Amino acid sequence: MSKIKAAIFASGTGSNFEAIMETEHLACDIALLVCDQSSAGVIAKADKYGIPAFVFDAKQFPDKTAYEKAIIDRLEESEVSWIFLAGYMRIAGPTLLNRYEGRIVNIHPSLLPAFPGMDAIGQAYRAGVKTTGVTVHFIDEGIDTGPIIAQEEVAILQDDTEESLTKRVHKVEHQLYPKVINQLLQTK
Ligand code: GRF
């Protein structure tokens, strides 16, 4: 039986992309990378794993609907049925949300609903909270909102720097995301 095909959407360095690719017994085949930044490090990582990349420049399209239609065409060509966002810096619109309803998942480096948006690890560090973490959630039209699937806590230690905290949060992300992907797909 062939595996479910999924796409990863990412705009950055792609450490989560890599963690997913390195997972033994992943319950899906990663069929495509979708990326909106032509200089993103994740593109070279996709190349290394032989994953085709759809790299687009949103400015070349009249609006979000138009570029999301182009993305959907490419996803359908690759028979993608699930989307995993990993550092994708765009808010999905109704075109993409409706086509992949209930099958678009994001990872965010905080315990949502605390610290949504950019620089979530820095936000938590500067706020002086004792615990932050990682959230995997279904997306909606908001910024880091939508039903939560899984969370894991990360303690902020007395002698943590933002850098040491960032490392620990990312380590948790890299373990949690593949685990949650497998749990989600195995119950389908
Ligand atoms: C991760 O911290 C993820 O939670 C957030 O963006 C970051 C992407 O990092 N949404 P990377 O590109 O996977 O290294």
Structural domains present in the chain: 4-186 (3.40.50.170)
- 137 is annotated as an active-site residue: no
**Which whole number is the average pLDDT over 145-153?**
97
Distance from the CA of 15 to the center of ligand 1, in angstroms? 7
Please report how the helices 120-127 and 162-186 are oriented relative to each other, as an axis angle in degrees rounded to 10. 130
Tell me the per-residue pLDDT of 35-90, one tens digit each, with 9 for 90 and over.
Answer: 999 999 999 999 999 999 999 999 999 999 999 999 999 999 999 999 999 999 99
Ligand 1 atom closest to the Cα of residue 19 is: 13
**Which whole number is the average pLDDT over 126-152?**
97
pLDDT tops 90 at residue 145: yes
**Which whole number is the average pLDDT over 166-181?**
98
φ and ψ of 108, to 5 deg: -135, 135
* Mean pLDDT value across the chain: 97
User: Using a 6 Å CB cutoff, which residues line ligand 1?
Assistant: 10, 12-17, 42, 86-87, 107-109, 173
Query: Are the C-beta atoms of residues 4 and 31 closer than 8 Å to each other?
Result: no
Q: What percent of the chain has pLDDT over 90?
A: 97
The reported pLDDT for the residue numbered 187 is 73
The reported pLDDT for the residue numbered 188 is 62
Query: Are the C-beta atoms of residues 170 and 188 closer than 8 Å to each other?
Result: no
| Strand order across the beta sheet in which 53-55 lies | 53-55, 28-35, 4-9, 82-85, 104-108, 131-138, 148-155
